[in-house]
């Protein structure tokens, strides 16, 4: 435990980085994958089981929590999102901006902020940089994200530039609000915007460095531009960011996306994919992605992944999980959600060990070859 937020870069292996973040609520080993706890729960997984997968930190969604049960209620009753949901490690909260733009209705954006209606009950709300920081402060998250403006790609260069510039002005307001209220040891990350335009990305980084943040997120990617362009922009942006602060690629992604982004210098990730796929009968494994609904598994008595270290997962056969998925049983969703988060953590652990040993490129090649080879007979 540490009294302050502290990132230590332990080792480079090519552009891949091994690091450690110390926070008052515990340490985060990087590269790190943060399971998404949208509405105060990592869907379908007991909190102690999330922890047992090796997750050091989870993500909470400001938009969902501000609407229900409200940040004010969580703060008044429990003092923190951690106490509310019984997660005793660090939590990163997003700004709420992404969900405001993708889930709410009747949005009206101005320089001041965004007026919108809840997707749950139609009630009217206002999200500004100051309001986002207020909510995240009420939740007392350990890492807080600035409010930014994301444009869906493709968009005109003018639209991308305008959103980037507004995001910088909002970044300054967020930093100011954070400094006025956050407890010691909490951190705020700025978000690099600029779409797929290098000059805009560079200008965004410069603006964020002028303000000063504990870490940097690469935002506005994985929104439809394709993996190749996403990785190219990630590589370009990561190289501009200071080495002594963590880098977070928001909302990414598949195991391959994450592996490739670590190779390009990214330290932190979050994605709903492992739990969402688990609820739909899909498993991420060392042998690639499996659809447990497939009839090929009906008579397969082997465990999902004999190499998965989680004790709750080695015991169930593919035939049993196939049956649960076909029968629509909750336990099927529970097993696969947990198995997928466990696999993501196993992948991160493998990357950390490989960087430490100076063999990240080998690990990357072997891991991709094993995905491509698929299940052994």
* Nearest by Cα to 270 from 307, 339, 222: 222
CA–CA dist 16, 196 (Å, integer)? 22
CB of 297 to a copy of itself, least distance (A): 11
What is the C-alpha separation between 244 and 240, in angstroms, rounded?
12
Question: Cβ closer to a copy of itself: 110 or 301?
Answer: 301
Distance CA 133, CA 137 (A): 6
Alpha carbons 270 and 249: distance in angstroms, whole number: 8
Question: Judged by CB, which is closer to a copy of itself: 247, or 310?
Answer: 310
Site for a copy of itself contains 230 (CB under 8 A): no
CA distance 315 to 199: 52
CA distance 27 to 173: 28
What's the CA angle centered on 175, arms 169 and 181, to 5 degrees? Answer: 140
Minimum distance, C-beta of residue 324 to a copy of itself, in the bound complex (Å) = 6
Residue with smaller CB distance to a copy of itself, 166 or 326: 326
Characterize the bridge pairing of strands 288-291 and 16-23.
Answer: unpaired
| Residue 270 falls in the annotated catalytic set | yes
Query: In this structure, how many other beta carbons lie within 10 angstroms of the beta carbon of residue 303?
Result: 17
Number of residues located near a copy of itself, criterion CB under 8 A: 37
| Rounded CA Rg of the chain | 20
Q: Which of 3, 4, 8, 48 binds a copy of itself (CB under 8 A)?
A: 48
CA-nearest of 311, 207, 248 to 92 is 248
The token duo for 288 is 């690639």
Instruction: Indicate the SS3 state at residue 124.
Output: strand
- Which of 56, 94, 148, 305 is the catalytic position? 94
Binding mask 317-336 for a copy of itself (x = CB under 8 A): x-xx-xxx-xx-xxx-xx--
CA distances (Å), 352 to each of 129, 243, 370, in order? Answer: 35, 17, 18
Residue of the chain from 1, 158, 301, 369 that contacts a copy of itself (CB under 8 A)? 301
Q: How far is the CB of 46 from a copy of itself (least distance, A)?
A: 7
Q: Which of 9, 11, 20, 78 binds a copy of itself (CB under 8 A)?
A: 78
Residue 138 tokens, joined: 């009420």
The interface region with a copy of itself, picked from 40-48, 99-107, 140-148, 247-255 by CB under 8 A, is 40-48
Residue 69 binds a copy of itself (CB under 8 A): yes
Q: Minimum distance between the CB of residue 314 and a copy of itself, rounded to whole angstroms?
A: 10
Of these, 21, 32, 52, 85, which contacts a copy of itself (CB under 8 A)? 85
Q: Which stretch binds a copy of itself (CB under 8 A): 76-84, 249-257, 339-347, 356-364?
A: 76-84
Please pick, among 56, 142, 270, 305, the residue that the annotation labels catalytic. Answer: 270
Catalytic residue at 94? yes
Binding segment for a copy of itself (CB under 8 A), chosen from 17-25, 65-73, 146-154, 217-225, is 65-73
Q: How far is the CB of 38 from a copy of itself (least distance, A)?
A: 9
Q: How far apart are CA 22 and CA 7, in angstroms?
A: 6
Instruction: Give the one residue of 3, 4, 10, 68 binding a copy of itself; rule: CB under 8 A.
Output: 68
Collapse the DSSP code of 14 into the 3-class scheme (helix H, G, I; strand E, B; otherwise coil) and give the result: coil
Residues of this chain that interact with a copy of itself (CB under 8 A) are: 39-41, 43-46, 48, 64, 68-69, 73, 77-78, 84-86, 279, 298-299, 301, 312, 315-317, 319-320, 322-324, 326-327, 329-331, 333-334
**Residues designated catalytic:** 94, 270
């Amino acid at each position: 435990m540490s009294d302050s937020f502290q990132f230590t870069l332990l080792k480079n292996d090519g552009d891949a980085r091994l690091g450690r973040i110390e926070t008052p609520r515990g340490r985060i080993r990087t590269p790190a994958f943060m399971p998404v706890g949208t509405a105060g729960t990592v869907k379908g997984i007991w909190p102690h089981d999330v922890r047992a997968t090796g997750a050091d930190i989870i993500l909470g969604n400001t938009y969902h929590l501000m609407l229900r049960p409200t940040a004010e209620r969580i703060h008044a009753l429990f003092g923190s999102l951690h106490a509310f949901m019984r997660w005793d490690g660090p939590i990163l909260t997003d700004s709420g901006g992404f969900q405001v733009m993708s889930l709410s209705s009747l949005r009206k954006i101005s320089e001041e902020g965004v007026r919108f209606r809840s997707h749950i009950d139609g009630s009217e709300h206002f999200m500004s940089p100051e309001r986002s920081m207020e909510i995240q402060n009420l939740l007392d998250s350990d890492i807080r994200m600035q409010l930014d403006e994301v444009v869906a790609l493709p968009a005109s260069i003018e639209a991308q530039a305008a959103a980037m510039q507004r995001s910088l002005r909002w970044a300054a307001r967020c930093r100011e609000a954070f400094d006025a209220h956050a407890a010691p040891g909490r951190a705020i990350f700025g978000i690099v915007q600029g779409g797929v335009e290098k000059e805009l990305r560079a200008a965004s980084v410069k603006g964020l460095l002028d303000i000063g943040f504990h870490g940097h997120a690469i935002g506005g990617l994985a929104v439809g531009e394709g993996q190749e362009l996403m990785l190219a922009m990630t590589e370009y942006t990561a190289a501009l960011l200071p080495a002594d602060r963590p880098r977070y690629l928001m909302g990414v992604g598949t195991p391959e996306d994450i592996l490739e982004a670590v190779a390009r210098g990214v330290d932190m990730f979050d994605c709903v994919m492992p739990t969402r796929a688990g609820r739909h009968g899909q498993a991420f494994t060392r042998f690639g992605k499996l659809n447990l609904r497939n009839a090929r598994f009906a008579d397969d008595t082997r465990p999902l992944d004999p190499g998965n270290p989680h004790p709750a997962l080695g015991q169930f056969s593919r035939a049993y999980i196939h049956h649960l998925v076909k029968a629509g049983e909750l336990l099927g969703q529970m097993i696969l959600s947990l198995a997928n988060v466990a696999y993501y953590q196993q992948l991160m652990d493998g990357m950390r060990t490989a960087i430490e040993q100076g063999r990240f490129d080998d690990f990357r090649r072997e891991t991709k070859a094993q995905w491509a080879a698929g299940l052994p007979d």
